[in-house]
């Protein structure tokens, strides 16, 4: 019988990140995740409920007290008591902490390395802001904050988080990092723990990060940090709260997670988002706040070429939009098409046709089989065009293909549309039959009453794409008329003025 592996988190107002945190740890192999909500006033609880429709995620209420540290302590004690006799292992993480198990990212395999251990302490690896003042366009912390610290750069890297056997753990609370266990307490490299005499949450020496580490996104952007200060009395009450940000804002190494694991996580997040979207679509009634694609829908399909003449394609290994030359390995890539509906000529829908593959663009918070962009003329040029993300207000840049792989990266993080942001559209007379079905779905979801009907799983991307293509003004009108709120990953930016 496989072991029951539980994870618990104490969380407040993390609607931007919580789906990513859940997706990451579900992908690692935790069998159950318990989310203790600390009276969130945003959509955190609703997103957790959406995750629970597809995964063993349980929404619980935190224990009550005036101070943050006391609420956390009482909640941890309750969580340990509740978990006993239900699970074999339990771990506590904060919502800005991501357990990283290295190349395999397999929790059961990791635990099998420590058959005699009662608890395993895993050191922090602190990540900085990557230079972000405002929030990055992609809400995924591990894709946005990719610059971190060396093991000996920060004393904070000596701090650990623990995973422990419940049948060998008492309910006595020491701190959120160190628990009262009977038996062997080891570090992630297998050696017996040597606790710091002054700071009982730390190891005596700097970490090796052998086998595991905890990615700690302590500050994130400056905007995120300010929100964190509002939630955390322990930071607010510090003599110089800004030093917290300065101390953790270390950006010495480029250290993103592996593409294949990120793709695993993104697939789980996609399911969570779809569950949440379906729950709010059901609230839409028969009103018409925008112009629909009613009647016979006339549309055109295009091949997209970059400034470098490379062709827009899907990298099936990473799930990212790229551009390739004719010499690229065609087995690794799938075609990406552009769709323009005649009565919505300023919107281009990118699609990869296959329901088994879905598109993502670095620095874009959206992903799916259909992603909308706004067509925009290049600065001072009425002939050449580029694509601007209505969600973030940033434009797509097509980097030059590499001479070895014949593949160029694509990034959605530019302000201006200049040469490398420009594209050429080549109209196709012959295209996959599935595109007709895609356009029919877009036409369906241009009718608001369609959202109040039962939506099939293979229709949800089209529903998302149409809503995501609307202007901020149309989205605000829709929200007011239907008395509901679009999720953060669909809400669009105001019209860009540069």
Q: Which of 13-22, 106-115, 139-148, 284-293 has the lowest mean pLDDT?
A: 284-293
Q: Which of 23-27, 64-68, 402-406 has the lowest mean pLDDT?
A: 64-68
pLDDT, one tens digit per residue, over 248-280 is 999 999 999 999 999 999 999 999 999 999 988
Q: What is the structure's pLDDT at 480?
A: 83
285 pLDDT tier (thresholds 50, 70, 90): low
Does residue 301 share a domain with residue 264? no
pLDDT, one tens digit per residue, over 318-348 is 999 999 999 999 999 999 999 999 989 999 9
User: How many other CB atoms are there within 10 angstroms of residue 270's CB atom?
Assistant: 20
Domain CATH number, residue 383: 2.80.10.50
pLDDT, one tens digit per residue, over 201-242 is 999 999 999 999 999 999 999 998 888 777 776 777 677 777
Tell me if 275 is assigned to some domain.
no
Q: What is the structure's pLDDT at 230?
A: 78
pLDDT, one tens digit per residue, over 300-318 is 999 999 999 999 999 999 9
Instruction: Report d(CA 371, CA 230) in Å as an integer.
Output: 34
Can you tell me the mean pLDDT for 106-120? 97
Tell me if 488 is assigned to some domain.
no
Does residue 166 share a domain with residue 310? no
Q: What is the pTM of this model?
A: 0.91
Tell me if 276 is assigned to some domain.
no
Tell me if 465 is assigned to some domain.
yes
pLDDT, one tens digit per residue, over 211-220 is 999 999 999 9
Does residue 340 share a domain with residue 449? yes
Can you tell me the mean pLDDT for 96-113? 97
Domain boundary among 270, 304, 339: 270
Does residue 305 share a domain with residue 250? no
Could you tell me which residue, 150 or 456, shows the higher pLDDT?
150
Cβ–Cβ < 8 Å for 463, 451: yes
Tell me if 284 is assigned to some domain.
no
Does residue 111 share a domain with residue 156? yes
Mean pLDDT of the chain: 92
Q: What is the structure's pLDDT at 382?
A: 66
Does residue 326 share a domain with residue 238? no
Does residue 160 share a domain with residue 14? yes
Does residue 266 share a domain with residue 312? no
What's the domain count of the chain? 2
Q: Of 23-27, 39-43, 354-358, give the range with the top mean pLDDT.
A: 23-27
Cα atoms in the Cβ-side hemisphere of radius 13 Å centred on 357: 20
Tell me if 332 is assigned to some domain.
yes
pLDDT, one tens digit per residue, over 436-483 is 999 999 999 888 777 777 788 889 999 999 999 999 998 998 788 778
Cα atoms in the Cβ-side hemisphere of radius 13 Å centred on 28: 24
Q: Which of 89-93, 113-117, 411-415, 445-449 has the lowest mean pLDDT?
A: 445-449
Does residue 398 share a domain with residue 261? no
Does residue 262 share a domain with residue 295? no
Percent of the chain with pLDDT over 70: 95
Tell me if 318 is assigned to some domain.
yes
> Could you tell me the residue range of the domain that residue 191 belongs to?
5-270
Tell me if 493 is assigned to some domain.
no
Cβ–Cβ < 8 Å for 277, 464: yes
Does residue 468 share a domain with residue 381? yes
Does residue 251 share a domain with residue 333? no
Domain CATH number, residue 63: 3.90.550
Residue 381 has pLDDT above 80, yes or no: no
């Amino acid at each position: 019988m496989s072991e029951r592996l539980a994870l618990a988190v104490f969380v407040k107002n993390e609607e931007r990140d919580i789906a990513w945190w859940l997706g990451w740890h579900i992908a690692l192999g935790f069998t159950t995740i318990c989310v203790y909500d600390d009276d969130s006033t945003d959509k955190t609880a609703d997103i957790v409920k959406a995750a629970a429709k597809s995964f063993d995620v349980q929404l619980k209420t935190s224990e009550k007290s005036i101070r943050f540290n006391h609420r956390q302590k009482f909640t941890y004690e309750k969580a340990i008591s509740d978990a006993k006799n239900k699970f074999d292992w339990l771990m506590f993480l904060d919502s800005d902490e991501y357990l990283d198990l290295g190349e395999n990212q397999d929790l059961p395999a990791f635990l099998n390395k420590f058959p005699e251990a009662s608890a395993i302490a895993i050191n922090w690896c602190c990540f900085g802001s990557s230079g972000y003042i405002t929030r990055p366009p992609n809400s995924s912390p591990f894709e946005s904050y990719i610059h971190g610290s060396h093991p000996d750069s920060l004393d904070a890297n000596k701090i650990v988080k623990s995973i422990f056997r419940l049948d060998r753990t008492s309910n006595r609370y020491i701190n959120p990092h160190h628990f009262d266990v009977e038996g062997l307490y080891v570090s992630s490299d297998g050696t017996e723990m040597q606790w710091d005499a002054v700071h009982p949450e730390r190891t005596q020496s700097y970490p090796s990060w052998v086998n595991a580490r905890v990615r700690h996104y302590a500050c994130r952007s400056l905007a995120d940090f300010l929100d964190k200060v509002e939630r955390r009395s322990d930071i607010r009450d510090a003599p110089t709260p800004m030093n917290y940000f300065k101390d953790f804002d270390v950006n010495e190494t480029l250290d993103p997670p592996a593409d294949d694991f990120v793709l695993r996580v993104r697939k789980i997040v996609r399911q969570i988002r779809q569950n949440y979207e379906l729950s709010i679509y059901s609230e839409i009634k028969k009103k018409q706040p925008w112009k629909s694609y009613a009647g016979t829908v006339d549309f055109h399909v295009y091949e997209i070429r970059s400034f470098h003449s490379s062709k827009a394609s899907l990298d099936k290994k990473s799930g990212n939009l790229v551009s390739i030359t004719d010499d690229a390995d065609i087995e690794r890539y799938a075609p990406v098409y552009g769709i323009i509906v005649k009565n919505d000529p300023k919107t281009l829908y990118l699609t990869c046709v296959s329901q088994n593959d879905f598109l993502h663009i670095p620095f874009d918070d959206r992903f799916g089989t259909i992603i909308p962009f706004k067509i925009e003329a290049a600065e001072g040029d009425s002939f050449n065009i580029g694509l601007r993300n209505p969600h973030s207000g940033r434009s797509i840049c097509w980097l030059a293909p590499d001479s070895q792989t014949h593949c160029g990266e694509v990034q959605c993080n530019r302000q201006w549309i200049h040469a490398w942001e420009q594209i050429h559209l080549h109209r196709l007379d012959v295209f996959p039959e599935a595109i007709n079905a895609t356009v029919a779905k877009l036409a369906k979801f241009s009718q608001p009453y369609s959202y109040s009907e039962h939506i099939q799983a293979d229709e949800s991307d089209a529903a998302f794409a149409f809503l995501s293509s609307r202007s901020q003004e149309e989205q605000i009108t829709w929200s007011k008329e239907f008395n509901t709120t679009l999720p953060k990953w669909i809400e669009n930016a105001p019209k860009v003025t540069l």
